[in-house]
Structure 1
Amino acid sequence: MNRYSKIFSSFISFNAKNQIILARYQHTSIPKPVTLVEDVYNPSNGTADPERCLIIAHGLFGFRTNWRSLAKAFSDRANIKVVTVDMRNHGDSPHTASMTYFDMASDLMQTIRKHKTPKTILMGHSMGGKASMLVALQEPALLRKLIVVDIAPTVSASLGEIPLYNRILLDNIDKIQHEKDIVAARRAMDKILQASVESLKNKSIRDFLLMLIVHDEASGQFVWRANLEVLEEYMDDIMYFPKEFDNATTNVETLFIGGGKSNYINDEAIPIMERLFPKHRLIRIPNAGHWVHSERPQEFLKCVLPELEIK
């Protein structure tokens, strides 16, 4: 057992079904929306329908650019304006001291109001999906449709892994400062990640995490593109779903898209989804994991495009 395995085993416990559990803790805050950095995509062969807009919120450790190719495809094929955002404490958006889902939802609401389209579709993956669900539950009038990608309004399946990844990243940034360039820095960090815990032997996960490393010209240091210190402090909030909505409901038409090989939307989540989102449908894309949109982009397009054709 290595150091990180020991740390992990010290703060987890198991329930009767041998599932990992942690104490449910939530910060409280008065949401103060920040202006999210965004990219806007319009059809390359014409003008977008002025009444429709698709806004996309990425997941934990992600960036708006992860969605570039799909955003262009959505815009061109559905004749729609598409907006991708960096969530707070990620990428180029403001780094803040608070990171609750109420904070993130308030940021998305501000973005929706900024674009002022009567037929807004909000789509979110993982953490971005939970924040998007809060928008639908708090301000349903802002949305015509909600699309949630491989996440449920419950505790995340990654509860036993993601907090540990965040700690490993924070602990090891100093070990790559001597590297000559970003390629060498990512290569060095890749070796550290691979040797840390069993689940990081998965190259796809490592490659995703390595994109967090950038070179800061001002300091001459390699730094993280996400505010990992705040993410660590708010990790319980991110892994769970706000308890204030345990008995809520919304009339927003909702599509859940899950990966056929993913366990993020499990059988236990279905009754909760039915209660909170009675107008929901669930589609599972075969042979796809949690990053269903990047693993099976063509199948994902086929699921989403009909949802964008709002009359």
Structure 2
Amino acid sequence: GGPGGTQWIYLSATVGNTGTLAGVLDATPIEFEERPVPIERHVTFADGQEKPRIENKLVRREFDATSSKGYRGQTIVFTNSRRRCHEISRKLDYSSAPYHAGLDYGKRKQVERQFAEQDLAAVVTTAALAAGVDFPASQVIFDSLAMGIEWLSVQEFEQMLGRAGRPDYHDRGRVFILVEPDGVYHGSMERTEDEVAFTLLKGDMEDVIAHYDADAAIAETLANVTVGGTAAKRLNDRMLGDIPTKEALSKLIEYGFISGLEPTPLGRAVTTHFLQPDAAFLILDHVRKGTDPYDIVADLELLDEEA
């Protein structure tokens, strides 16, 4: 920006179409290939039964080593289900903990603290949650290359393996990919784990393109009406990807989320809490019936599961 304006820096380790994005964002692209802590990548073939034994050996070896900065090596094990997190954690000799969205807030915070204090040799986690948590690990092990019943994308894989090795803590990062030949996690998976492994290791980043379905368009438009009022259309047009503003506005009026180009109290509550329309209507319906809050939360969880 100009004098007194705001400067924007957009950072990403996992974008394919840097030039396109820079054009849309009116930014200057700068690509930097160096990594302050080098990473070793290892591929090991093993079936699902063998994997915990190998993980145990790798976790022990890493925790027994100390970096030149005085830190023990610690491991993040990524797997594809909450049940598998507990199963692997139980089979590790050294202190470890499962870590996933099914644990309550206090328990998750406790695990984060123990890991930071080097009381844990490993955390065993699902891909979805650990992406946003700062675990200073020197080693990452992929027990599975799936997230739930979907194979990881190159972006997800790179974000996860990039957690191995931290400046000021470690001299190098290590990544072990445990691959089950012909392995799949669900009947609908067309490729096998060994095929997926080499696609991921090749590391061709996918282009970042935003696709807005009807609910996402409604949510974005409501947010832009709330902050910008009559400028909502202009804000929508500046988003990455196309948002059908007219259709979204007519739905927002129909749902009672806006009046004119102002959010209603209901609309403001929906956008403040980042609710999707179906979740908002479910809560509203229950509140009118006087349902117990715990039952409302349980229904919302079921809604998420179905999605």
| Shorter-normalised TM range | under 0.3
- With normalisation by structure 1, the TM-score equals 0.27
- With normalisation by structure 2, the TM-score equals 0.28
Select the structure of larger CA radius of gyration: 2
